[in-house]
Amino acid sequence: MSVAILGASGGEQRYTGDYLVGAGLAKGTLLACREKGGAAMAVNRFVLNNISYHGVGAIGEIPGEIQRRGFAKAFVCSDPDLVKFGVVGKVTDKLDAAGIPWALYDQIKPNPTIKNVQDGVDAFKASGADMIVAVGGGSAMDTAKGIGIIVENPEFADVVSLEGVADTKNHATFTIAVPTTAGTAAEVTINYVITDPERVRKFVCVDVNDIPHVAVVDPDMMASMPAGLTAATGMDALTHAVEGYTTQGAWELSDMFHLKAIELISKNLRAAYAEAKSGKPGEGREGMALGQYVAGMGFSNVGLGIDHAMAHTLSAHYDTPHGVACAMLLPVAMEFNKPVAAERLADVARAMGVDVAGMSAEEAADAAIAAVRQLSADVEIPHTCAGLVAEDLDQLASDAMADACFPGNPREADHDQVVVLFRKIMA
């Protein structure tokens, strides 16, 4: 059997490995299977949370979700700063009020490592807990996903074997995911990213069994985000939406989510950034909480592209914040993809509120790229990567091309082209 991937522009790519059209897509998903000499038949898969709650005060629903299912003790996964500044306490106070015992694992750091996950598995087993509450950004939720998967599938205890599309048999431990940033959408995706410090790389894990059972998207849980993090995570969300709309696996259902996400993020990110700087809450934060989630509903199911492949590489080598890396690379990736995705990028411009009347598709695509650059500048994202030097470019390009997101890009890129793209963000 051969596999034909039907792209957004109607083109077709063939793959034989586990990664078909980027992170989020495993064998048997979003593909047309064609027996030799036979006709193609498209099969599109879509995976979402069983339940999600949205809006101010949504964390009040957490105790009920735990009690209705008869769980005895919660394992709360977060990071030290969120504990220190009382963010985790907003959730644990609800557990205390409901008489639900809990244990805390807060040794999660940005860009979580293999050891973070393994230590978390040990802590979970020692705690006597029977479910997980993940409170945090992508790092906390990715770690919680890895913990939950290994607890139920101990044969993957090395963590490394989860890279790509792992053949796990059991769904992760019951998990409620509570995001504290408006960007990663890890609470609704089937992906998570772990850092391998020994090999200086990040690896993407794609598994329908890792998606949290319940997502609780409460804007109040995002109130402590500083302005810089608000900007970075917001641009990460925009990158998810733009890449998800232009990836090879895009189709009508995912398009619906991505276009709405682009609209919501474009309308709300500047306001959310201003609110974070002033310390005064407003509608921007709530709009971003929804926008990033909607983007996650889409890209989790159709994958990403070259921007995320390169951003993962930058974070692994220079510890560049993921959202910043995505933001720097987004207009670069859009320019690279324009020859094959101009009409789609024109749609991006419209969703961002750009008046493209009378423009050609190419002109409208350029307008979309300009709008992205302006939004990034307005929220003070740097346009170059500190530390990026010419002697690293060959290795960076090789690592990016090995990333699970890379095959989803709508335009193929060779090693030399990826080097050129990295050069565009050198200081």
**Is residue 8 scored above 90 in pLDDT?**
no
Question: What pLDDT is attached to residue 22?
Answer: 42
pLDDT in tens, 400-423: 999 999 999 999 999 999 999 999
**Is residue 25 scored above 90 in pLDDT?**
no
Confidence grade of residue 10 (pLDDT, cut at 50, 70, 90):
very low
Question: What pLDDT is attached to residue 377?
Answer: 97
d(CA 374, CA 169): 46
Question: What pLDDT is attached to residue 281?
Answer: 82
pLDDT in tens, 326-365: 999 999 999 999 999 999 999 999 999 999 999 999 999 9
d(CA 31, CA 13): 10
Helix (H), strand (E) counts: the chain: 13, 13
Q: Which residue has the tokens 């990040």?
A: 202
Run of H or E residues at 131: strand 131-136
pLDDT in tens, 183-204: 999 999 999 999 999 998 999 9
d(CA 257, CA 259): 6
Question: What pLDDT is attached to residue 387?
Answer: 87
Question: What pLDDT is attached to residue 42?
Answer: 74
Q: Which residues pair with 177 in a beta bridge?
A: 134, 215
pLDDT in tens, 119-129: 999 999 999 99
Beta carbons of 263 and 288 less than 8 angstroms apart: no
pLDDT in tens, 255-265: 999 999 999 99
Residue 8 has which token pair? Answer: 């957004």
Strand-strand pairing, 74-77 and 131-136: parallel
Question: What pLDDT is attached to residue 81?
Answer: 94
Ordered by where they begin, the domains of the chain are 2-43 (no CATH), 51-222 (3.40.50.1970), 227-423 (1.20.1090.10)
Question: What pLDDT is attached to residue 282?
Answer: 87
d(CA 103, CA 243): 38
Secondary structure (3-state) at 57: coil
Residue 127 has which token pair? Answer: 């705690």
Sequence-ordered list of residues with C-beta below 8 angstroms from that of 75, at least 6 positions apart, any chain: 102, 103, 105, 123, 124, 127, 129, 131, 132, 133, 147
Question: What pLDDT is attached to residue 278?
Answer: 93
Confidence grade of residue 41 (pLDDT, cut at 50, 70, 90):
low
pLDDT in tens, 266-315: 999 999 999 999 988 889 999 999 999 999 999 999 999 999 999 999 99
Question: What pLDDT is attached to residue 280?
Answer: 87
Quick one: what percent of the chain has pLDDT higher than 90?
85
**Is residue 367 scored above 80 in pLDDT?**
yes
Sequence-ordered list of residues with C-beta below 8 angstroms from that of 140, at least 6 positions apart, any chain: 77, 78, 79, 82, 108, 112, 134, 180
**Is residue 114 scored above 50 in pLDDT?**
yes
Beta carbons of 385 and 366 less than 8 angstroms apart: no
Read out DSSP for 187-218? GG-SEEEEEEGGGTEEEEEE-GGGS-SEEEE-
Question: What pLDDT is attached to residue 221?
Answer: 96
pLDDT in tens, 234-272: 999 999 999 999 999 999 999 999 999 999 999 999 999
Residue 330 has which token pair? Answer: 């987004």
